[in-house]
Chain A
Amino acid sequence: MDGALPLPAPLRSASLSLAGEGEGLPFPEGRGTAPEAQGEGGAQSRASYALHLGDDALILGQRLSEWCGHAPALEIDLSLANLALDLVGQATSFLAHAAALQGQGDADALAFHRDVLDFTNCLLVEQPNGDFAQTIVRQFLFSTWQHLLYQRLATSTDPTLAAIAAKGVKEVAYHAEVSADWVIRLGDGTPGSAARMAAALDWHWRFVDELFAPADPALVAAGIAVDAPALRPAWDARVAAVLAEANLATPAARRAVTGGRRGHHSEHLGHLLAVMQHLPRSYPGAVW
């Protein structure tokens, strides 16, 4: 918290009604692509990329922290809290990098003083925790992707992104492993747990395509950003293998729901931000 307020918050929240109602958000394609994302590997485009990497980690970290003290068993309570901690740590590094590239603010300003429309996280991570199956499926789909992403990002020509990813990939390997373990345990568990897992897969599957949307081509060409579509075959193979072991069917392809990268979010994100940002906004400059 350094008091830097990059955006006039009340003005931005006036257009909150753009956020959709969950399913089937029919946002016109091509609309709202941030001008800076069309640069040529410049600082602004790179900042946008760092921002979306940071937002993914931050929002899922915040979601997972909601489980702290509420998870069904001590083991998984500790697991989810540790996952949250890793993700918030990665987010801090990404957001600090984004702030440096933008030449203003810091990680805290970006986390606490932006509104819904300025967040570029994928829609998957903002989905509510739901029941335990929903949380586990969301984590498994995301961590499997993030692990592949960080493996590639660790060779980015942006040395800061590479360093964050090289560190994070070791942490995310655990996330992918522990969530896959639970997918198998619950999918191959009781009829009740299997039905909940199938329902959770059915809900979250619509948010998967967004993970593989291409980044700014100039950034990819410059070796800064990961070629996300190229991650899909490895992700498909890994997910199919785990689901098979869990006796769960891979959901049929369906119309993708996207928009998070352009700031078009479900109504859930605003509620999450209200909790996360309440204190620094109500008491600007508060310190321990």
Chain B
Amino acid sequence: MVALTLPHPGGFAACPSPAFAGEGNARREPSKGEGGSPSADRVWAVLATVPDPEIPAVSVVDLGIVRRVDPTAVIITPTYSGCPATHVIETSIRDALAAAHLPHDVVTELAPAWTTDWITDEGRAKLRAFGIAPPPLGMGARSLMNAGAAECPRCASTDTREISRFGSTPCKALWQCNACAEPFDRFKCH
């Protein structure tokens, strides 16, 4: 009972997108193996088109779950231990690369553990446009319960409240905006 994500077909494209604050935190960007060789660049370009099955607005690269690209393998890390999307993602990556004549194995590595800090700035902007409040940066796992008020992805108000700590997928909580009454998902700090 996990894949209950209800996509917003039109997203919130009509709403003015709040200014996107620049983030200066030290973040671990995935290392692009092979020294940025042409074939690795092509692999990364294909990966950037592979959507997350539960949140199709963002790609697996946006989410920071692709850690490295080796000559023969793409190394990914799961978001949550039990995230059922992981298997779909493996298959999607393998199929997309095979279709692009760049066949790679997909290898899952647990360490270092994925953190929401690895979601790229572009991924954060896409989440917000999709109606999901992105997780705060640099909170660390210990502060995940006290990440502060979420910013409404619709009207940018921070007058918001948590409805349920668990949502339609392991990575999201349910929130509601007190200003515009919009209920929305918040990507949990992890």
Do these two chains really belong together in a complex?
A: yes
Is A79 among interface residues, defined by CB-CB distance under 8 A? yes
Question: When each residue 78-104 of chain B gets 1 if its CB lies under 8 Å from chain A and 0 otherwise, what string results?
Answer: 101111100000000000000000000
Determine which of A75, A90, A159 lies in contact with B81 in the assembled complex, contact meaning CB atoms within 8 Å. Answer: A90
State how many residues of chain A have any CB contact under 8 Å with chain B: 33
Chain A residues near B109 (CB-CB < 8 A): 163
Least CB distance from A98 to B in Å reads 15
Is B144 among interface residues, defined by CB-CB distance under 8 A? yes
B112 close to A85 (CB less than 8 A): no
Give me the interface of A with B, judged by CB distance under 8 Å.
61, 68-69, 74-75, 78-79, 81-82, 84-90, 92-93, 159-160, 162-164, 166-171, 173-174, 177-178
| 11 A-B pairs whose Cβ atoms sit less than 8 Å apart in the complex | A82-B166, A82-B170, A85-B80, A90-B82, A163-B110, A163-B113, A164-B110, A166-B110, A167-B113, A170-B141, A170-B190
State how many residues of chain B have any CB contact under 8 Å with chain A: 26
Least CB distance from B78 to A in Å reads 8
Least CB distance from A161 to B in Å reads 10
Is B6 among interface residues, defined by CB-CB distance under 8 A? no
A89 close to B166 (CB less than 8 A): no
Question: When each residue 121-147 of chain B gets 1 if its CB lies under 8 Å from chain A and 0 otherwise, what string results?
Answer: 000000000000000000001101100
Interface of B is mostly: loop
CA distance A81 to B168 in the complex (A): 10
Determine which of B111, B163, B164 lies in contact with A79 in the assembled complex, contact meaning CB atoms within 8 Å. Answer: B164
Least CB distance from B164 to A in Å reads 4
CA distance A145 to B56 in the complex (A): 36
Chain A residues near B170 (CB-CB < 8 A): 82, 85-86, 171
Question: When each residue 172-186 of chain B gets 1 if its CB lies under 8 Å from chain A and 0 otherwise, what string results?
Answer: 000000000000000
CA distance A173 to B142 in the complex (A): 8
Least CB distance from A144 to B in Å reads 14
B164 close to A78 (CB less than 8 A): yes
CA distance A92 to B82 in the complex (A): 8
B83 close to A89 (CB less than 8 A): yes
A167 close to B81 (CB less than 8 A): yes
Chain A residues near B82 (CB-CB < 8 A): 61, 84-90, 92
CA distance A92 to B84 in the complex (A): 12
CA distance A88 to B142 in the complex (A): 22
B81 close to A177 (CB less than 8 A): no
CA distance A171 to B113 in the complex (A): 11
Determine which of A78, A82, A166, A173 lies in contact with B111 in the assembled complex, contact meaning CB atoms within 8 Å. Answer: A166
B141 close to A86 (CB less than 8 A): no
Across the interface, name the chain B residue whose C-beta is closest to A75: B164
Shortest Cβ-Cβ A-B pairs, 6 listed = A89-B82, A89-B81, A163-B111, A85-B82, A163-B110, A167-B113
Least CB distance from A46 to B in Å reads 17
Known: A69-B1, A164-B110, A167-B113. A93 touches B81 (CB 8 A): yes
